């Protein structure tokens, strides 16, 4: 049989942390599959890292402590950016593009913040920037949204897109563990960001949501308009009451097309416990996407970790390798439509977003308290869907009161909550969370 001369594809890998080590391991262990699928000899020729990682064997690969030496190396065709952050990574990717190299990155913050500029630069240089690993780790959601669902007008998407937060919420619910204790474990397992406030504060999910929304709705990346809340205020009581009401608390990223603009929000959300996505536990991620032709679709898999994230990095390498000779205009555009056809759309402020609500308050155990609260809600056009009132504990005069409301505009709920908090029969602040039915 005649043997075919395979094209050499030379990889420059910057960053040898959790995902970098996974990328080295996959490129070594799955070489036969990678060669067959790319039709190329893919090999790492240069690594930019300050130190070796014992989790992978770099053998005789050249290692430089200066990552820019990789971006300037004429023996590199594709630069893999796995250093994270938005300072050095931004400069590195720009340098690689300027030098005519394709780029693969797992850096959601970089794409969400600087993607519009980087895609424009890459376009002028005729190179690809691939970022499958930036969203939902090992789930090929970018490819699904950009190619598999290309026939659809996307109506909405809602995802569990931060593995660390989902891991924490799952452990709190199932094992009653303390927040900080679980967060430390997530850090030890390599799930969390270097600064874990990005995870628990919602920003990591926000970066990913901004990317998904741009592809879904054909608009430029718009990080400034993101509405973002984390999971740090969730109390064990909320987890329990949500279960009692038939719901589960998940940190969701939601992007929805409405008549007045696009909703772009990350926050803790009560969702019916019977939904498939409510049963996504631990570090697993899942994204529900509703297309007008296909209906609701669900994508599930590990959202963080070494090999799962590296699986997406290497898939991007294969994609680029097999189409190295294809002109940029014939490749799939970065955000699904060509840069110059992206259309900016208004993003709704949270005050204009309509959802149902979960409210938890501490009320005096006196006649008439409940009717006053019901009156305030009713005057605001908000109806009560469910209510739990517990007996006061012995020696206490306050009772926990939990209310589920129907859908209302956030600004109406804000006004009603302020009025209820002003009642002298209500103690302290009202805890509230948004509720989504996620019906297809």
Catalytic residues: 208
Q: Could you give the C-alpha distances from 298 to 42, 289, 412, 437, in angstroms and in order?
A: 32, 6, 32, 15
Nearest to 149 by CA among 329, 317, 298: 298
**22: contact with ligand HSE by CB under 6 A:** no
Our finding on whether 355 is near ligand HSE (CB under 6 A) is no
**Could you say which residues in the range 131-150 bind ligand HSE, by CB under 6 A?**
137
Binding residues among 247-306 for ligand HSE as defined by CB under 6 A: 303-304
CA 403 to chain centroid, in Å, comes to 29
Angle between helices 306-322 and 31-38 (to 10 degrees): 30
Residue 244 CB neighbours (<10 A) = 10
d(CA 222, CA 205): 14
Q: Whole-number minimum distance, CB 287 to ligand HSE, in Å?
A: 12
Minimal CA–CA distance to 318: which of 75, 82, 98, 140? 140
Binding-site member from 38, 53, 107, 164 for ligand HSE (CB under 6 A): 164
Q: Closest approach of Cβ 188 to ligand HSE, in Å?
A: 13
Smaller CB separation from ligand HSE, 191 or 299: 191
SS3 content of the chain, % helix, strand, coil (to 5): 40, 25, 35
- Considering only residues 196 through 215, tell me which ones interact with ligand HSE, judged by CB under 6 A: 199, 204
Among 192, 221, 318, 404, binds ligand HSE (CB under 6 A): 192
Please select the residue that binds ligand HSE; options are 48, 138, 163, 301, rule is CB under 6 A. Answer: 163
Rounded to a whole number of angstroms, the minimum distance from the CB of residue 401 to ligand HSE is: 34
Cβ-contact 432, 360 below 8 angstroms: yes
* CB nearer ligand HSE, residue 119 or residue 191: 191
Cβ proximity to ligand HSE: between 204 and 319 the closer is: 204
162 near ligand HSE, rule: CB under 6 A: yes
Nearer to ligand HSE, 137 or 140 (CB): 137
Alpha carbon separation from 145 to 3, 39, 103, 213, 354 (Å, rounded): 37, 25, 20, 10, 25
CB of 267 to ligand HSE, least distance (A): 16
Which residue shows structure tokens 């005069």? Answer: 397
Q: Find the shortest distance in angstroms from Cβ 169 to ligand HSE.
A: 12
Cβ atoms of residues 230 and 202 within 8 Å:
yes
Footprint of ligand HSE (CB under 6 A): 137, 162-164, 191-193, 199, 204, 303-304
């Amino acid at each position: 049989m005649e043997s075919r001369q395979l094209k050499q594809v030379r990889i420059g890998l910057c960053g040898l942390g959790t995902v970098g080590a996974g990328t080295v391991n996959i490129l070594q262990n799955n070489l036969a599959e990678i060669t067959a699928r790319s039709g190329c000899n893919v090999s790492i020729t240069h690594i930019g890292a300050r130190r070796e990682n014992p989790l992978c064997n770099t053998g005789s690969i050249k290692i430089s402590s200066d990552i820019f030496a990789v971006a300037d190396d004429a023996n590199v065709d594709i630069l893999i950016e796995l250093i994270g952050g938005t300072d050095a990574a931004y400069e590195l990717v720009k340098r690689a593009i300027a030098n005519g190299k394709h780029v693969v990155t797992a850096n959601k913050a970089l794409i969400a913040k600087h993607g519009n500029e980087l895609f424009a630069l890459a376009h002028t240089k005729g190179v690809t920037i691939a970022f499958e690993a930036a969203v939902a780790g090992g789930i090929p959601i970018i490819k699904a949204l950009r190619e598999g669902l290309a026939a659809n007008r996307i109506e909405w998407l809602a995802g569990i897109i931060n593995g660390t937060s989902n891991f924490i919420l799952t452990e709190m619910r199932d094992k009653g563990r303390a927040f900080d204790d679980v967060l430390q474990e997530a850090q030890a397992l390599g799930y969390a960001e270097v600064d874990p406030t990005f995870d628990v504060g919602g920003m990591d999910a926000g970066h990913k949501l901004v990317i998904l929304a741009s592809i879904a709705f054909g608009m430029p990346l718009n990080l400034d308009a993101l509405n973002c809340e984390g999971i740090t205020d969730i109390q064990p009581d909320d987890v329990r009451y949500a279960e009692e009401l038939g719901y589960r608390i998940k940190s969701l990223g939601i992007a929805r097309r409405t008549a007045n603009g696009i909703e772009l929000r990350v926050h803790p959300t009560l969702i019916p416990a019977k939904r498939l996505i409510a049963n996504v536990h631990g570090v697993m991620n899942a994204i529900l996407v509703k297309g007008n032709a296909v209906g609701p679709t669900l994508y599930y898999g590990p959202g963080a970790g070494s090999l799962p994230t590296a699986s997406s990095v290497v898939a991007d390498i294969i994609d680029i390798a097999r189409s190295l000779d294809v002109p940029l205009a014939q490749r799939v555009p970065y955000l699904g439509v060509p840069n110059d056809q992206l259309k900016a759309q208004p993003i709704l402020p949270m005050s204009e977003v309509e959802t149902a609500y979960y409210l938890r308050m501490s009320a005096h155990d006196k006649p008439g308290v409940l009717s006053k609260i019901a009156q305030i809600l009713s005057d605001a056009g908000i109806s009560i869907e469910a209510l739990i009132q517990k007996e006061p504990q012995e020696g206490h005069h306050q009772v926990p009161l939990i209310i589920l409301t129907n859908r209302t505009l956030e600004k109406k709920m804000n006004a009603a909550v302020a009025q209820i908090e002003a009642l002298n029969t209500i103690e302290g602040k009202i805890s509230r969370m948004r509720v989504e039915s996620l019906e297809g």
